[in-house]
Amino acid sequence: MSLPTQLFIDGAWRNSASGRRTTLINPATEEPFGEVAAADGADVNAAVESAQRVWESGWRDLAPGKREAILHAVARKLREHIEEIAKLETLHIGKPISDARDEASLGARVFEYYAGAVTKFCGQTIPVGRGGFDFTLRQPMGVVAANLANSPTLRDCRPACYRCCPVRVRPSATRSSPIRSFARCPSPAPPGLAAASWNWHRAT
């Protein structure tokens, strides 16, 4: 198990613009176990700009069936890496390993749920008074930021992915690596699409 220590922005690993790093402490031993890049506003802007580019260049208009396939592939990757993600979670926040495994598999389960939701979440047709044809659309909001201070790993990202919203994730100061670790999984999506639409960094 190795510790991912850089920021994942625009589909690639990099150091923070400022070069600053912060030390991670294992709460069960009080010992430092690594140093990771500390992001600031410049890194956030880079991540948001990257997400916006990806959104406009195709993620937004990806066919529902393709989105569904990608989300299922993400869930499969997550399941393959549950042990690694759980161990990093335990190391960072002291969560007992059996709970950390449950949480990581809930993570995969939620991706599966939203993969299935892609072709079931729909609008309405409305018989408006003046006649004609009236219908509603659910359109993606665009780039979404998720602050995961207290949320189970990655839970908040999934509805966003479902709707093609690129995601900018800010893990809390104490639990960045499990999320980075997930970003490190080989991307199941078409290169340059999903990979670039996930921007992971750590703000302080």
Partner 1 sequence: MELASRDLKRISLELGGKSPNIVFADADWQRAAETSPMSVFANTGQDCCARSRVFVERSVCEPFVEKFVAATKMLLVGDPTKPETQLGPLVSAAQRGTVEEFLADARQRGSKFACGGGRPRAKGYYLEPTVLLDVRKDDRCWREEIFGPVVCITPFDDEAQMIRDVNASPYGLSGSLWTNDLRRALRVAKAVESGVLSVNSHSSVHAEAPFGGFKQSGIGRDLGMAAMDGYTELKNVYVAE
Residues found near partner 1 in the complex (CB under 8 A): 25, 27-30, 87, 90, 93-100, 106, 109-110, 112-113, 117, 121, 123, 126, 128, 131-141, 144, 150-152, 155-156, 159-160, 162-163, 165, 174
Q: Please, which residue, 14 or 159, has the CB nearer to partner 1? A: 159
How is 65-125 classified by DSSP, letter by letter?
HHHHHHHHHHHHHHHHTHHHHHHHHHHHH---HHHHHHHHHHHHHHHHHHHHHTTT----E
Please state, in angstroms and rounded to a whole number, the distance separating the CA atoms of residues 88 and 65: 33
Q: What is the DSSP letter of 14?
A: E
Q: Please, which residue, 12 or 32, has the CB nearer to partner 1? A: 32
Q: What is the DSSP letter of 61?
A: G
Q: Please, which residue, 64 or 96, has the CB nearer to partner 1? A: 96
Minimal distance in Å, beta carbon 69 to partner 1? 19
Minimal distance in Å, beta carbon 14 to partner 1? 26
Contact 128, 95 (CB under 8 A): no
Q: Please, which residue, 133 or 186, has the CB nearer to partner 1? A: 133
